[in-house]
Amino acid sequence: MSIGQELIIFDWFRIHFTENPGMAFGFEFGGVWGKIALTTFRIIFSIVGFYYLYKYSKKAKVHTGMLICAGLVLAGAVGNLFDSLFYGLFFTDSLFEVAKVVPMGEGYESFLQGRVVDMIYLPIIDFCCWPDWKIIDLTGYAGARVQFFQPIFNVADTSISIGILSFLFFQNRWFPENK
């Protein structure tokens, strides 16, 4: 697979290699110092998360589902943390070609500055084009391509999302006294 190409498994499921320099959905802030702050936050979150997950797993009244959700979020955070810590040290820049493994320190970036690799792309609804109605033409959308769910993400992002959504969905069952 080369840069700019993607492996199409189904029309709605594709493997598309990209490197995310920042947070979810490619948001970034503050350049080098912003990346250091983000990575430092990820490290602190992971350490505190492991501490609390261990602490609460020892309690008898903690629901297993809550521990699983917390574990999913923590696993996803640590997965993205490892990419941002080490990916730039061990891989070449993938601007014009797919990244290649190199000896430690010969990569494209220094410690704490790596990008997170995203590869799952789900253009569930993908069609062209908006109808050529005059009212839509005034908005500038006439003839535009319509895609639902454009973000490219990875397994760690999926783990975080499933953990958080499951926690939100099941929290009333796990904490009935808080209704």
Residue 71 scores a pLDDT above 90: yes
Among candidate residues 11, 126, 132, 157, the one labeled active-site is 157
Residue 112, classed as helix, strand or coil, is coil
Q: Given CA atoms 47, 50, 54, 57 in this order, what sign does their dihedral have?
A: positive
3-state secondary structure labels for all residues of 94-108: CCCCCCCECCCCCCC
Identify the burial level of 126 via C-beta atoms within 10 angstroms of its C-beta, where 0-12 means exposed, 13-18 middle and 19 or more buried.
middle
Q: Is 11 a catalytic residue?
A: no
Q: Give me the pLDDT at residue 26, please.
A: 66
Among candidate residues 118, 126, 132, 137, the one labeled active-site is 118
pLDDT in tens, 79-119: 999 988 888 888 888 777 777 888 988 888 888 888 888 88
Domain edges within the chain: 7-173
Tell me the average pLDDT across 14-38: 79
Residue 144 scores a pLDDT above 80: no
Tell me the average pLDDT across 5-34: 79
pTM for the whole structure: 0.78
Q: Is 157 a catalytic residue?
A: yes
